[in-house]
Structure 1
Amino acid sequence: MTTDLASSSGTGTGSAAPADAAATGLPAPDYDRLPEVAAALAARAGEHDRDASFPHEGVAAVHAAGLLTATVDRGHGGAGAGLADTVRILRALGGGDPAVALVTSMTLFAHSAQARAPHWPQDTYGELLAESARRPALVNALRVEPDLGSPVRGGLPAATARRREDHWELTGHKIFSTGAVALRWMMVWARTDEEPVRTGSFLVRTDSPGIEVRPTWNHLGLRASRSDDVLFDSVRVPLGRTAGLAEPGQDGGRDVVGGAWNSLGLTALYLGVARAAQRWLTGFLHERVPSALGAPLATLPRFQSAVGEIEVQLAGAERLVAALAEAVDSGDPLAAAEAGGAKVLGTRAAIGSVEQAVALIGNNGLTNDNPLQRHLRDVLCSRVHTPQDDSVLLGTGRAALDLGGSAR
């Protein structure tokens, strides 16, 4: 079964909206509604996980609370939320449904990048904002390919944009495209057919002819994220709808602040998953009364100590992520550089705490009748996000060794 986005993603005409979006009516973020929204997501998270169905109603709830566009710059009529607020949002949503949180994060990151260093064409970004005022308009960068793997490991994309008289013609195959079936805009990383070759993002509306989503996502965790394959067959992209198009090595290098948003935002998301697991665990320990004991498991010192260890792990990781996020917002370059290390520590704390919860209660933690097994499967996905542990530790180790053994 395939999905043709030209017929399933809306009826937009593609007409440009003004880039000055102060009058577009973007919903203001209501942080007080975070617990309510997270609870609504949690109520259907199990269903979407079982069916591997995309949680459209969950994304709609996030949008209605003004959270999906919280990072839109104030100059465009947005709230201009920084990384600290984004961490708060994603931690709460991750505790409800991490699939919704993940597609939300990609859209928040796209708007924050535009606020820091505008790279979308003015009329195209105005079009996105105008639609975002009316309904959820999800955005994601499609970079990974079957042969290339993750682009952070190096290499050029096979996806190719061929120059025509007044447009580009985009052909390629992307995998692990989070939220593909629900996206409104895709930032497709591709190469040109020029000499010398340039690479960059081609901004593609998902109602463009020639786009096909193949439902290939058959994953252990985050099943509802629908991170399917997307195929582009001679998709027409107007010449101006590109971002960051440059020769390899001349694209400005690594975006350290953008990397910090990714590292800390996604770590917060998975800490939210771990908190959801902890909440279920504590409820179970209070409710479970073995006949031989005659009292809840929560009264036993062994369980109290284990829950205490989980709490220490999660509280420390949450405080680290929140503090670094605030420091990044204040312009501290060291904080941005340390964000990858915080991801290692934070995701390990999240995974370790959920694994400990499962080990603590045995079969009850692994039955499909309880959500703990879902939290375990979901939290394990934290390992695959960029930057991965080996890259962070290699870079950090090399930097430490370059200090010549001097104390920090």
Structure 2
Amino acid sequence: MPDLQELHAAPGAEAPEHDPHQDLRATVRAFAQSEIAPRIPHMEAADTIEDGLVTEMARMGWIGVTIPAGHGGMDAGHTAKTVLTEELSYVSAAMGAAVQASVLGTAMIDHFGTAEQKRTWLPAIADGSVLPTIAVTEEDSGGHVLSTASTGRRSKRHWVLTGRKVYVGNSHIGRLHGVVVRTGEGARGLTAFLVEADRDGVHLAPHTPRIGLRGFSFGELLLDSVRVPDSHRIGEVGDGLDVAYSSSVLYGRLNLAAVALGILAATHDQVTRYVRGRPRIARESVVRGRVGEIGVLLHLSRLAVHDAARRLDLGLPCDADLMAAKYQAVQAVLRATGLGMKTHGAAGLLADLPMERYRRDAHCIDPPAGTSDIQLHRLAEMALAPGARPQWSVRFARPRPDRTLTQQPGSGARQCPSHP
């Protein structure tokens, strides 16, 4: 039976004919193999920001995958975004993370932006000339957005922003930062703003090495009395919490789940190749059990992630599905890469094999958009108090049945081991 890598590369192994994302998948797959894969050794060794590749991917229009066609975007929806991110992450989780981070940066403009803000920024993002980011997290608040300490003070028609944001995806190459700061008290005391990277008072802390995702910048943004006009405010004063949560739920969780799915598929293929090439090891029942378990983890994660994306594209209530998809994919990739390292033994520690990179990258996927503990907490809230909070997937529903009704969960993705 062919493994996932053979199905991935073999002629005639493309996605099923009914997959509306077949062309996108093939294009991204070819780009990742020809342009990204040769750069990985340098990215791993140098641990510098790979801005050239990110810029090239942006110019291909991929940051605009969910931007409406009227603003120059691909208007392809969340399933297409998932396919795009998964394919990139199969080769390089760092580059998958880079694309998804700026796709995430479009969410607040799309959801809360004025008509003028959308006309100004979305076409520039769609054609790759502007990379957006979202800057919400702070060192002392983590995933608790209400603990935000950065401030925004009104000064006539301007606002003066001061504070420090951390773990900002594409921090060092982003040109437009979506920033949430405190402008008042309580839950309605947060407000969001668009801040250009070249504004006076905007600074970046030096890029520092991370455990994984080498080549991707997720650093610190420093705001030193930055003056922005009120026209750069996103949503109403006090909408900052909504801006942050809607972006995280509708984009961030599914985006990170897709990155995890790409690493998970790559892990399965690597482990399968490694074991197949060592007949004595392959006869060990414990090793065969690991290979089988990784296949199950991949299968279940693919179903969860693609089904959540499909429901979001159909405009169905799916906040819980998005949370569950991130939880499932993250827990699966952590488990699978751990099993992969055990199966490789000492060889897993070698930099000339990708297994150790997959393991390091997997650990970087849990914290963004809420750790697995946060996903469980939110899911418990929904179960124990159903209907207590409105669902973001309902509030910002944009049904696209013409593109997704024929798309079954996981169709077009690399086939699981049980699929010949």
TM-score normalised by structure 1 residue count: 0.79
Looking at structure 2, the residues matched to 353 and 270 of structure 1 have their Cα atoms a distance apart, in angstroms, of 11
Aligned-partner SS, 2:215: helix
The answer to whether 1:282 aligns with 2:272 is yes
Residue 177 (structure 2) pairs with residue 186 (structure 1): yes
Instruction: Output the CA distance in 2 between the equivalents of 1:120 and 1:252.
Output: 13
Q: 2: distance between equivalents of 1:222 and 1:84? A: 23
Alpha carbons 1:162, 1:168 under 8 Å: kept: yes
SS at match of 1:234: strand
Change (3 A) 1:256 1:192: closer
State the alpha-carbon separation in 1 of the partners of residues 308 and 91 from structure 2. Answer: 24
The match for 1:376 is 359
- Answer yes or no: is 1:366 the counterpart of 2:361: no
Matched ranges for 1:7-156 at <5 A: 30-39=24-33, 40-115=35-110, 117=111, 119-132=112-125, 135-152=128-145, 154-155=146-147
Measured in 1, the distance between the counterparts of 2:187 and 2:378 equals 31
Please, which moves more after superposition, 87-96 or 305-314? 305-314
Whole-Å Cα distance in 2 between the matches of residues 63 and 108 of structure 1?
A: 10
Q: Alignment partner for residue 321 of structure 1, among 297, 302, 305?
A: 305
Judged with a 3 Å threshold, the aligned counterparts in structure 2 of structure 1 residues 80 and 215 are, in CA distance, closer, same or farther, namely: same
- 1:352 CA drift (Å): 0.9
User: Following the alignment from structure 1 to structure 2, what is the Cα–Cα distance between the partners of residues 398 and 315?
Assistant: 27
Looking at structure 2, the residues matched to 254 and 127 of structure 1 have their Cα atoms a distance apart, in angstroms, of 21
Q: What is the DSSP-based 3-state SS (H/G/I as helix, E as strand, rest coil) of the residue aligned with 2:364?
A: helix
Task: Find the residue that maps to 1:181 and give its secondary structure.
Answer: coil
Q: Which amino acid letter does the alignment assign opposite residue 321 of structure 1?
A: V
Structure 1 match to 2:13: none
SS at match of 1:223: coil
Q: Does 1:176 align with 2:167?
A: yes
Q: Which amino acid aligns with 1:207?
A: D
Letter of the 1:278 partner, please give it.
Answer: H
1:171-223: per-residue Cα shift (whole Å, max 9, x none)? 21111122111001001111237999842111011121221111253321223
- Which residue identity does 2:101 align to in structure 1? M
Query: SS at 1:393's partner residue?
Result: helix
Q: Structure 1 residue 251: deviation in Å?
A: 6.0
Q: Tell me if structure 1 keeps the 8 A contact 2:248–2:369.
A: no
Measure, in 2, the Cα distance between the counterparts of 1:207 and 1:384. 28
Q: Report how many aligned residue pairs link the two structures.
A: 363
Q: Whole-Å Cα distance in 1 between the matches of residues 121 and 104 of structure 2?
A: 14
Q: Hey, what does 1:18 align to over in structure 2?
A: none
Amino acid at match of 1:188: V
Kindly tell me: are residues 175 and 85 of structure 1, through their superposed partners in 2, closer, same or farther at Cα, counting changes over 3 Å? same
Q: Does residue 237 of structure 2 align to residue 246 of structure 1? A: yes
Partners of 1:158 and 1:113 lie apart in 2 by 20
Point out the structure with max Rg over C-alpha. 1
Q: Does 1:212 align with 2:190?
A: no
Letter in 2 for 1:102: A
Closer/same/farther in 2, CA of residues 390 and 122 from structure 1, 3 Å limit: same
State which drifts further: 355-364 or 273-282. Answer: 273-282
Describe the SS at the equivalent of 2:67.
coil
CA distance in 2 between counterparts of 1:70 and 1:233 reads 33
Distance of 2:75 and 2:385 partners within structure 1: 38
What's the CA shift for 1:379?
0.5
The 10-residue stretch of structure 1 (382-391 or 319-328) with the greater mean CA deviation from structure 2: 382-391
SS at match of 1:383: coil
1:382 partner SS: coil
Tell me the TM-score normalized by structure 2.
Answer: 0.77
Specify the alignment match of 2:224 in structure 1: 233
**Aligned pair in 2 of structure 1 residues 103, 164: CA closer, same or farther (>3 Å)?**
same
- The whole-number CA distance in structure 2 between the counterparts of 1:223 and 1:308 is 30
Change (3 A) 1:189 1:229: same
* 277-286 or 172-181, which deviates more: 277-286
- Encode CA deviations 1:214-237: one digit per residue, 9 max, x unaligned: 125332122332212111112221
Partners of 1:311 and 1:193 in 2: CA distance: 50
In the other structure, the counterpart of 2:293 is 309
Of 324, 333, 341 in structure 2, the residue corresponding to residue 350 of structure 1 is: 333
Aligned partner of 2:79: which letter?
Answer: A
Q: RMSD across aligned C-alpha pairs, in angstroms?
A: 2.9
What do the CA deviations read for 1:113-166 (whole angstroms, capped 9, x no partner)?
Answer: 544x3x2243343332343365442211111223333334x32x2222222233
Query: Matched residues in 2 for 1:219 and 1:269: separation?
Result: 17
What do the CA deviations read for 1:225-279 (whole angstroms, capped 9, x no partner)? 221211111222122101134337x965985686143222211111101222222
Q: Distance in 1 between matches of 2:300 and 2:67?
A: 30
Uncovered stretches (5+) of structure 2, i.e. residues with no partner: 1-22, 387-420
Which amino acid is 2:293 matched to?
E
Q: Counterparts of 1:33 and 1:107 in 2: how far apart (Å)?
A: 20
Q: What secondary structure is seen at the aligned counterpart in 1 of 2:303?
A: helix
How far apart are residue 63 of structure 1 and its match?
2.3
